[in-house]
Amino acid sequence: MESKNHSTELGVAISKFLDYCDNYRNLSSYTLRNYKSDLDDFLKYLISESKTKIDDMDRSVIRKYINLLNNLDYKRSSINRKLSVVRVFFKYISTNEDYGSRDLVFTAKSKIERSLPKVLSSNNIKDLLNSVDISDFYGIRNKTIIDIMYVTGIRVSELASINIDDIVNSEQIKVLGKGSKFRVVYINEKSRINLQDYLKQRMKKNVNSNSLFINKYGKRLSVRSIQKIIKKYGFIAGLDTSIHPHMLRHSFATQMLSNGADLRTVQTLLGHSRIATTQIYTHVANKDMEESYFNSHPRVETR
């Protein structure tokens, strides 16, 4: 895997880092693409600042990069992801003997404050599902995609990678998560019916592919295509905000916790390696509970 502008010292280091990730870190192809894209953006910025050597790296470089991303109106989540990739790259440099184990400083203070995830209400989900016209194969497929993502909380990359033989039984699906780790997620009765309807229609296509969700050419449906599908039906449903697949995951986690699921169970179902990552949803659930109290209690007249 080669990075653009790889002739510079940092460009060469980025190329070596991407090769290392590809060969030794057992990352998904989706994660590797994001790593490459984010590091290409970082390198373009460094070249524009004439900071092309490893010794040029310091806190001021990171601060200026954060300011640039903010000025370009990147979302907080996108900035955090880009900084996380740069942090991993710096750690690679700092621990690699090829670079003299140089100590590159990248503190947690560089990270933008984390905002609460946006979630959809149960009524939003119903509107989203009801907006799908299921009179043809693609409508049945699209409704099944939305339904499975919501009832399982899986990532869009995980959904795209599901194969037919990953369906363990009528209630369980095996998904390949981050770090190439498999886990089992569960579907309810309505979702089983939707999935069975889709599989019946898919069989009529007579395609030679093990991919669960296919495009019009019989090939695996891409992550980008799934993102477009979710956004399309969010618009048709008339939802106020721009819908993206991760909002279905956020909604799954928040509603599970609101309905009494314990944190460890939700962590396992989401495939989070750290429980701290899952805990962000408790804040959303608590915020919803507060809103419900102030909107519903008979003795609460004003806020």
CA distance linking residue 248 with residue 284, whole number of Å: 14
Q: 6 catalytic, yes or no?
A: no
Q: 281 catalytic, yes or no?
A: yes
Q: 178 catalytic, yes or no?
A: yes
CA distance linking residue 240 with residue 243, whole number of Å: 9
Counting every residue written for the chain, the total comes to: 303
**Of 16, 51, 220, 272, which one is the catalytic site residue?**
272
**Residue 8 CB-half CA count within 13 A:** 20
**Of 16, 51, 143, 155, which one is the catalytic site residue?**
155
Q: Is 184 strand, coil or helix? A: strand
**Of 4, 33, 231, 246, which one is the catalytic site residue?**
246
State in Å, rounded, how far the first CA of the chain is from the last one: 56
**Of 51, 220, 249, 250, which one is the catalytic site residue?**
249
Q: What residue spans of the chain are helical by DSSP H?
A: 9-24, 29-48, 59-71, 76-95, 122-130, 137-152, 156-160, 189-205, 223-236, 245-258, 263-270, 275-296
- The secondary element (H helix, E strand) that includes residue 99 is none
Q: 250 catalytic, yes or no?
A: no
CB 161 within 8 A of CB 176: yes
Q: 249 catalytic, yes or no?
A: yes
**Of 35, 65, 92, 281, which one is the catalytic site residue?**
281
Radius of gyration of the chain (CA): 22
At CB < 8 A and 24+ separation, what contacts does 33-39 make? 34/81, 34/85, 35/85, 35/88, 36/1, 36/3, 38/81, 38/82, 38/85, 38/86, 39/3, 39/14, 39/85, 39/86, 39/89
Q: 109 catalytic, yes or no?
A: no
Neighbours of 255 (CB within 10 A): 21
**Of 76, 118, 178, 283, which one is the catalytic site residue?**
178
List active site positions: 155, 178, 246, 249, 272, 281
